[in-house]
Chains A and B, each alone.
Chain A
Amino acid sequence: AQSVTQPDIHITVSEGASLELRCNYSYGATPYLFWYVQSPGQGLQLLLKYFSGDTLVQGIKGFEAEFKRSQSSFNLRKPSVHWSDAAEYFCAVGPSGNTGKLIFGQGTTLQVKP
């Protein structure tokens, strides 16, 4: 069965420090992979996505992610975190079945220390 695991429920980093959020997936074929961010009280916004091609993808707000097929991972990175990056981050994989359904991980809460 398809699944997504985000091993870190909560991460705290200092402002200006680098960030890496982990995402591991289980999928039978080449997956489509996504990272979404949810700010408090808001809906989810797409940060970046991987469909095919270059395994290092760039997204908005200075984020990037690298698809590693051998490790079934799609980790999200940012070289220097800003206080406004504090939010909930979700990794997602799809499609599931023939419906285009996305399966989300349980999320990682990012706290940024001044």
Chain B
Amino acid sequence: DTAVSQTPKYLVTQMGNDKSIKCEQNLGHDTMYWYKQDSKKFLKIMFSYNNKELIINETVPNRFSPKSPDKAHLNLHINSLELGDSAVYFCASSHTFTLGPGELFFGEGSRLTVL
């Protein structure tokens, strides 16, 4: 029973298209994250939601729009895709951050390739 699941696992698309990645966690956590891992494997946080409220919004182009319909789901929509958006996007979840940073549970990643 997968704890953090994200779909799709692979996504190949053309520049200029719009795409979405979905994430769901069944751990009962109330904080969820999107991380971007670039070609050099560097992991950088993009967004974090706590109980459906946006709490972290790093310097990310506004073409990226997260949405959390409930605390178990965090989706990422990307408009007007660019070549530089090619990366692996990881969803993660943890208990509430107000207790200090807890263990992050990661999904398996969604590899986005923009042609």
Q: How far is the CA of A32 from the CA of B103 in the complex (A)?
A: 10
CB under 8 Å from chain B, chain A span 27-76: 32, 34, 36, 38, 41-46, 49, 51
Count of residues in A whose CB is under 8 Å from the partner chain: 24
**B94 in the interface (beta carbon within 8 A):** yes
Q: Are A107 and B108 in contact (CB under 8 A)?
A: no
Q: How far is the CA of A89 from the CA of B72 in the complex (A)?
A: 28
**B27 in the interface (beta carbon within 8 A):** no
Q: Are A100 and B31 in contact (CB under 8 A)?
A: yes
Residues of A contacting B: mostly: strand
Q: Are B104 and A102 in contact (CB under 8 A)?
A: yes
Q: Are A100 and B100 in contact (CB under 8 A)?
A: yes
A100 contacts across to B, CB distance below 8 A: 31, 48, 94, 96-98, 100-102
| CB closest chain-A residue, reference B102 | A100
Q: Are B107 and A107 in contact (CB under 8 A)?
A: no
A113 contacts across to B, CB distance below 8 A: none
Q: Are A90 and B55 in contact (CB under 8 A)?
A: no
**B106 in the interface (beta carbon within 8 A):** yes
**A104 in the interface (beta carbon within 8 A):** yes
- Contact string against A for B residues 82-112, beta-carbon threshold 8 Å, 1 for contact and 0 otherwise: 0000000010101011101111101111000
